[in-house]
Structure 1
Amino acid sequence: MRRTLLFLFLFLIGVTGYPQKLVPTGKQGYSQTSVNTAIFRKNSIVTHNGIQYIAFYDENGYLTLGKRELGSTQWTFYLSQYKGNCKDAHNVISIMVDSEGFLHVAFNHHGSSLNYCRSLRPGSLILGNKEMMVGRDETEVTYPEFYRLTNGDLIFVYRSGGSGRGNLIVNRYDVKTKKWHRVQDVLIDGENERNAYWQLYVDNANTIHLSWVWRETPDVATNHDLCYARSRDGGATWEKSDGEKYRLPITAENAEYVWYIPQDSELINQTGMYADENGNPYIATYWRDRESTVPQYRLVWFDGETWHMQQVSKRKTPFTLKGGGTKRIPISRPQLVIDNERGKNNLYYIFRDEERGDKVSLASTRDLEKGIWKMRDLTDFSVGAWEPTYDTELWREEHKLHLFVQHTDQGDGEKTGLLSPQPVYILEAEK
């Protein structure tokens, strides 16, 4: 085992030119769906005060928590009392640590009652009983996501309602009072006709950046258009990219459309976004042009004055997103991170593509104006239906890219695969 890992480490350095280290946890995770590796896990791993926390469902479906000191390969694990319905890949685990060191966990949601708990004490992996947050709109929860503000408070967002008819809810946790309160009952209103599938990012100025696509029905093919909003006051008020204030809730009529994309364009939902040092938002996604059958990875961004779009990939294989439920798609949804060097943005676009052997892959550019993207693989093995999730707080504080890696399977339309439990790793891809 050690010789294999040593060979893999040397291989990764030599082939990619981007220093890699694959850190085994010594545990195996449920692998018959992508429930451990869906992109909308916020987060799968998170670092606080030099301790990195990890969460996943084990081979029996139990919520498993672990932690290690950064730089160490020694893990401490805790098998919780909670179990998830892993056959449905929507039922992900999302975690975050507040500024006092309490671990917050939300898990096992697909139009179901809120499953939320927190650690009994700072730094502990032992979870308390399930709790309510505010006590309303907590019976049809899907896509729970945590985000940490610079003062240590947390933002919690989720969809209330079903696909094609859901609304976006925003809660905030006050670390001083240790209580949640509602910020927005209905931030984006689908008006019982559609719902927004979002991606969100909180920058270092505490601005919340939110982008989304609309979906008209449970059929993924009805995804359309790319919209944007931001909040500079923790989610209380929202504005468009030009500073115009939104009259809430945001609807299909008053939303800012940053890129018009028709239905049946293989436009994916719930991807990744980031904001640079100037607070300009960047959105990573994919869709196909009307004259083509091949979806391509793309980047949509705002430079302070105008929205732009650039194609990142040169894929050759067509596919369709028609149908409902979790899809078995030959490419992952992408994540994006950015750092700044000598006044210029370096962009790193993380993805998985069947054309590249379903490996963990990365596209990067140091000059977005020229639009030249370099592609490289960060693993030499397939990760199946894996999608990228990373340690957002470690990247924010130290610009170290740590990815949750596990080989998973996924049947099309919420079906399960036959893959046996697979090892869980952290892939350290440090600049």
Structure 2
Amino acid sequence: MQEEKITESLKLADVWAGHPVGFALLTHGNQQFVAFYDATRQMTVAQRSLGSKTWKYTKLPSQLGWDSHNYVTLAVDSGGFLHVSGNMHVVPLVYFRSTKPLDASSLVQVKAMTDQKETRVTYPLFFRGAKQELIFTYRDGGSGNGDQLYNTYDPKTKTWKRLTEQVVTNGEGQRNAYPALPQLGPDGYFHLIWIWRETPDAATNHHPSYARSRDLVHWEDSAGKPLTLPITLKTGDVIDPIPEHGGALNGLVKLGFDSQKRPIVSYTKYDKNGKSQLYCSRRERSGWKVYPVTRWDWRWEFGGGGTIAAEIGLGAVESAGAGRLKLAFRTKSHGSGVLVLDEKTLAVVEKLPPPEGYPKSLRAVRAKFPELQVKWAGDLGKPASGGGRYVLRWETLGPNRDKPRTGPLPPPSELWLYRLQ
């Protein structure tokens, strides 16, 4: 694949670099919004008109601490009003909404959405439902004890309400689900995958699971059997019965599809010898069938609380054409690349080098402070015209289990916007 070219570059601001935390970029029509934490760790939203080199900045009353969970995200509703949420890890809801369409300077804090179960919020995300309605999902509770909720927004009344009367996944006071966003598949269903965790210890992840829905209200398992909400460990459709301390981890459970529109979930677990491996599980006629993918002689031993530095990364299975699939991966021990799989057997038939990705000139760390890493954020929207894509780039130290760092800290990093084609 030919390396993308940089067709536009624009500096936004100096930003916090003491620990990683996610920023958000949204291109909507001819307007562009970026939500980030500035050099003093204050939540900020920048806005510009496409083609302009001038940003307008709105400072919001929310200050980042040391928690890498506390990313910031945003969305625009059907009326053009901007929604911003973030800086939360088991704390009261932090949410802002503009009072004027496509005007970040009019953002005001809204203390409540439904005013229920909004005091212990984590993982806020906006997405679109079956009718393109704006939906907000988050976890209520803590790691090892939480529920997943969905709110839906009425642009006419400018109010939120629960999408479902019951929570979608329920930990029964003993565990919590780590779900991905519901993904609209090629079969017209929204597909939801998650993994359960018993305690704040990352090693207690277990039982990756699955459900699907046409409307995000009525759910069923992979065989079409209706599921009564809330979905629990006992009622969910288990992809692979991986036990606690079995090598599975939230964030490393990915959903893709084969040419027959069957869901394939890629994930990690320990093999019978205790080594870390990649696996794929596909929903076939008899149920979920597990396929080993790698044969590494290596174990990534992880555990404990807080944000950890991942030694394995993997993507979702994608079509490679000609009866083949591809699965991207990276490891600390076995390098990175793309595994080409036979679609019928899911056996590895070829290993390719990792894709070029971002332009080479952007990949290397520029600042001199030791141990900095390059961070990226893709566009939650898309340009109205002209093709290509926009990305954000900045540099920061890696995770530190969400604890304050002592000693010298890096100076602020430069946050840049690039258009790639």
In the superposition, the TM-score normalised over structure 2's length comes to 0.80
1:288 aligns with 2:273: no
Letter in 2 for 1:376: P
1:424 aligns with 2:415: yes
Contact 1:258 1:307 in 2 (8 A): yes
Letter in 1 for 2:65: C
1:326 counterpart (304, 307, 314) = 307
Contact 2:12 2:417 in 1 (8 A): no
1:345, CA displacement in angstroms?
8.5
Contact 2:34 2:47 in 1 (8 A): yes
Contact 1:201 1:275 in 2 (8 A): no
Q: Distance in 2 between matches of 1:200 and 1:132?
A: 22
Q: How does 1:165-314 map to 2 (within 5 A)?
A: 165-184=145-164, 185-203=166-184, 207-233=189-215, 235-271=216-252, 273-274=254-255, 280-293=262-275, 295-302=276-283, 307=288
1:162, CA displacement in angstroms?
1.1
Which residue does 1:406 correspond to in 2?
394
1:217, CA displacement in angstroms?
0.9
Q: Distance in 2 between matches of 1:75 and 1:310?
A: 52
Q: Which moved more, 1:218-227 or 1:89-98?
A: 89-98
Q: Which moved more, 1:85-94 or 1:376-385?
A: 376-385
Q: Which moved more, 1:255-264 or 1:211-220?
A: 255-264
Q: Relative to 1, partners in 2 of residues 1:346 and 1:65: Cα closer, same or farther, differing over 3 Å?
A: farther
2:95 counterpart (113, 116, 132) = 116
Q: Which moved more, 1:54-63 or 1:73-82?
A: 73-82
Q: Relative to 1, partners in 2 of residues 1:69 and 1:124: Cα closer, same or farther, differing over 3 Å?
A: same
Q: Distance in 2 between matches of 1:129 and 1:91?
A: 17
Deviations 1:258-304 (A, max 9, x none): 122222233221356455597644445433324244x3455545468
Q: Distance in 2 between matches of 1:250 and 1:388?
A: 34
Contact 1:45 1:404 in 2 (8 A): yes
Q: Distance in 2 between matches of 1:389 and 1:142?
A: 20
Contact 1:34 1:409 in 2 (8 A): yes
Q: Give the match's secondary structure for 1:221.
A: helix
1:119, CA displacement in angstroms?
1.9
Q: Give the match's secondary structure for 1:193.
A: coil
Q: Distance in 2 between matches of 1:226 and 1:306?
A: 14
Deviations 1:372-429 (A, max 9, x none): 453234253259566765334449x999665543322234422245343222345666
Structure of greater Rg: 2
Q: Distance in 1 between matches of 2:53 and 2:340?
A: 35
Contact 2:208 2:253 in 1 (8 A): no
Q: How does 1:78-157 map to 2 (within 5 A)?
A: 78-126=57-105, 127-149=107-129, 151-157=131-137
1:46, CA displacement in angstroms?
2.7
Q: Relative to 1, partners in 2 of residues 1:268 and 1:226: Cα closer, same or farther, differing over 3 Å?
A: same
Contact 1:46 1:52 in 2 (8 A): yes
Q: Which protein has the bigger strand share? A: 2
1:337, CA displacement in angstroms?
8.4
Q: Give the match's secondary structure for 2:228.
A: coil
1:25 aligns with 2:5: no
Letter in 1 for 2:413: Q
Q: Relative to 1, partners in 2 of residues 1:166 and 1:152: Cα closer, same or farther, differing over 3 Å?
A: same
Report how many aligned residue pairs link the two structures. Answer: 399
Gap runs ≥5 in structure 2? 366-370
Kindly report the root-mean-square deviation, in angstroms, between the aligned alpha carbons of the 2 structures.
3.7
Gap runs ≥5 in structure 1? 1-15, 38-43
Which residue does 1:163 correspond to in 2?
143
Q: Distance in 1 between matches of 2:337 and 2:54?
A: 27
Q: Give the match's secondary structure for 1:139.
A: coil
In the superposition, the TM-score normalised over structure 1's length comes to 0.78
Which residue does 1:381 correspond to in 2?
364
